[in-house]
Amino acid sequence: MKSYAVIVVLALSTAGCASTRESYLFLSPERWAQEMVKRGVDLREVPNPLAVDDEVRKSADSLAGVGTPPERLQRLQTALFREDTFPFLYEHRETFTATEAFARREGNCLSFTNLFVAMGRSLGLPVTTALVRRAQASEKNGDLIIVNNHVVAALQYGVGWQYFDFDRRRHDRPAMVRPLDDLWITALYLNNRGADELRLSHPDIALRFFGYATRLALAFAPTWGNVGVARRRLGDTQGALDAYSRALTISADDPTILGNLASLYRSLGKEKEAETALQAIKVGNATPHTLIVRGDLELARGRVSGAIRFYKRACNLGPNLADPWVALARAEVAKGNSGRARRDLKRALKLEPENGDAILLENQLSAPPQPPSPH
């Protein structure tokens, strides 16, 4: 399960985190509200993502049972995974607070993780959220890249930390796990809420959530990238460029931010600047869709073999994504290999039967050749 750093960067995301401060970890509801007000966050718009009520507390106590803190949390996690004890619909887009996720029995990974953390804290256990850095997944929204960042629950116990992951799919071992304080946890929640609003074509509301998030986690580059996305959607080109610049001062080689910056430059007809942004991307850190953008640049320059190399890397990095196979098909069409293009489109449509780009290209390949125009 993944949190959006749509990051979105439309973003969304992983991002580098600044070190957390002990004084903002395990805040009481009253202290949390004070810190929000101090930073100009409107509490009428921003609920505490970790707040719980008596029903949640009673459920946590019943499901966790007795034992050491790790034993209780492991028992709680197992119970939350079981349909007979806690039927929960995992929906990877919407973001809810812990209380909302408990009541609705649905939400994305961040919602589920926040619920687990909040339930653990209601038991008096020192559990928090941690941001995981590992190979990123991505998706497309128009001409922008969305990166999905991953979070886990973290318990400080003994001499180190123990982690509770809510993504049961197979994945690479994390390169880094960073426990977060309550300001960062709220910032991630707001970043996701902003991403949700962008998906609903509400960039004005999204910008408000992203703005709050930047006040709580100044060093979270994906949120600044998302500010750029929202401002671009609102027609504020200079504001978008300023936000991308701020993001890149924090994470200079972030592939998603650079990819979205390149997209903005290309929309302005600044191909040289777009190419410079794309060339700055470290391919080893790139998401599948960022690699597709790099391949598209090669294809636009007539360097078809180079484009295919990037597209194949994207296929390997995102084996369940249709978009890299569609990109490969476009490159094969450019080489005149319609048979290979159809093969690649077949792979794409098997992964995503409703992929519009794949259907359009397949229809174009299936259409009878047009007679030459009379002179």
Q: Where are the domains of the chain?
A: 1-279, 287-366
Q: What is the mean pLDDT of the chain?
A: 85
Q: Residue 67 has which token pair?
A: 């034992």
Domain 1-279: assigned CATH number: 1.25.40.10
CA-wise closest residue to 233 among 197, 262, 269, 192: 197
Give whichever of 11-25, 101-115, 153-167 has the largest mean pLDDT. 101-115
Write the Ramachandran bin of 186: left for phi over 0, alpha for psi from -120 to 50, otherwise beta. Answer: alpha
pLDDT mean over 342-356: 93
Look at residue 372 in the predicted model and tell me its pLDDT: 63
Look at residue 163 in the predicted model and tell me its pLDDT: 87
Query: What is the distance between the alpha carbons of residues 199 and 287, in angstroms, rounded to a whole number?
Result: 20
CA-wise closest residue to 232 among 264, 209, 199, 196: 264
pLDDT mean over 175-184: 82
Question: DSSP character for 88?
Answer: -
Query: Is the full-model pTM beyond 0.85?
Result: no
Burial of residue 2 (number of CB atoms within 10 Å: 0-12, 13-18, 19+): buried
Q: Check pLDDT > 90 for residue 210.
A: yes
Output phi, psi for 303, to 5 deg: -95, 75
Compute CA distances 205 → 7, 40, 104, 217, 365, whole Å.
Answer: 16, 16, 23, 19, 42
At 119, the pLDDT band (50, 70, 90 cuts) reads very high
At 48, the pLDDT band (50, 70, 90 cuts) reads very high
- What are 258-295's pLDDT values in tens digits? 888 998 998 999 988 988 998 887 777 677 887 887 88
Q: Check pLDDT > 50 for residue 11.
A: no
Spell out the long-range contacts of 100-108 with Cβ–Cβ below 8 A and sequence spacing 24 or more: 102/52, 102/55, 102/56, 102/59, 108/1, 108/2, 108/3, 108/4, 108/192
Provide, rounded to the nearest whole percent, the portion of the chain with pLDDT above 70. 84
Query: What is the distance between the alpha carbons of residues 323 and 152, in angstroms, rounded to a whole number?
Result: 28
Domain 287-366: assigned CATH number: 1.25.40.10
Say whether 287-366 and 1-279 share the same fold. yes
Output phi, psi for 311, to 5 deg: -65, -40
Q: Check pLDDT > 80 for residue 40.
A: yes
Look at residue 181 in the predicted model and tell me its pLDDT: 95
Q: Check pLDDT > 50 for residue 4.
A: no
Look at residue 7 in the predicted model and tell me its pLDDT: 37
Query: What is the distance between the alpha carbons of residues 326 and 179, in angstroms, rounded to a whole number?
Result: 38
Query: What is the distance between the alpha carbons of residues 214 and 236, in angstroms, rounded to a whole number?
Result: 18
